[in-house]
């Protein structure tokens, strides 16, 4: 009984700390079309989790999930810039992967740098560059290891404080 009560207290403490931190949800359009969740770790640092689809309307495509750890620096007033490392995983689907015996799984590493504008309402707009280098899988004419280097995007997020 003691272990159950202790476990419940620890879970409640972790949940209250997680929900007390600022977070945001939204989307990002660019190299992929992505859903975004952002969670503040401390003042000036956050984790950004995105999941989305790329080339979804073709005869082949891929689904990606990316996590980045970003440091945020204020420029002036409502303007910030952010930078940090990122890693991702993706899986390809469609006719091209089956016909060419291509490994559909891939692993990416890279980073993220960008600017954000915080409006007077709980909404912010981001413009970023997330260069990702393919370290495993998809090495073919459909997805070259360097093709993730051109990952520019625009995002819109709703902030919960």
The predicted pLDDT at position 56 comes to: 65
The predicted pLDDT at position 20 comes to: 47
CATH top-level class of 22-160: mainly beta
DSSP codes joined into one string, 79-101: EEEEEEEEEEEEEEEEHHHHHTT
Alpha-carbon distance 25 to 97, whole Å? Answer: 32
Angle at 78 between CA 115 and CA 67, to 5 degrees: 40
Instruction: Domain ranges for the chain, please list them.
Output: 22-160
What pTM does this model have? Answer: 0.76
**pLDDT tens, position by position, for the chain (161 residues)?**
666 666 656 555 554 444 445 789 999 998 788 999 999 998 889 999 999 987 766 666 778 899 999 999 998 888 999 999 999 998 877 665 556 656 678 888 999 999 999 888 889 999 999 998 888 776 555 556 666 778 899 999 998 86
The predicted pLDDT at position 156 comes to: 93
Nearest partner of 36 among 116, 120, 134, judged by Cα: 116
Output b/e per residue, 34-60; b: 16+ Cβ within 10 A.
bebebebeeeeebebebebbbbeeeeb
Q: Where are the alpha helices (DSSP H) in 21-105?
A: 95-99
Alpha-carbon distance 112 to 50, whole Å? Answer: 12
């Amino acid at each position: 009984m003691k272990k159950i009560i202790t476990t419940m207290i620890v879970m409640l403490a972790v949940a209250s700390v997680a929900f007390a931190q600022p977070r945001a949800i939204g989307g990002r359009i660019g190299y992929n079309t992505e859903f975004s969740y952002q969670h503040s770790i401390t003042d000036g640092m956050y984790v950004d989790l995105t999941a989305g689809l790329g080339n979804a309307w073709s005869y082949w495509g891929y689904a990606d999930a990316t996590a980045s750890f970003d440091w945020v620096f204020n420029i002036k007033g409502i303007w910030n810039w952010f930078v940090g490392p990122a890693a991702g995983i993706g899986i390809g689907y469609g006719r091209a992967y089956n016909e060419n015996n291509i490994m559909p799984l891939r692993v990416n590493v890279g980073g993220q740098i960008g600017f954000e504008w915080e409006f007077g309402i709980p909404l912010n707009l981001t413009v970023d560059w997330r260069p990702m280098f393919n370290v495993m899988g998809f090495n073919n004419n459909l997805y070259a290891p360097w093709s993730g280097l051109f990952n520019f995007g625009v995002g819109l997020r709703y902030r919960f404080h």
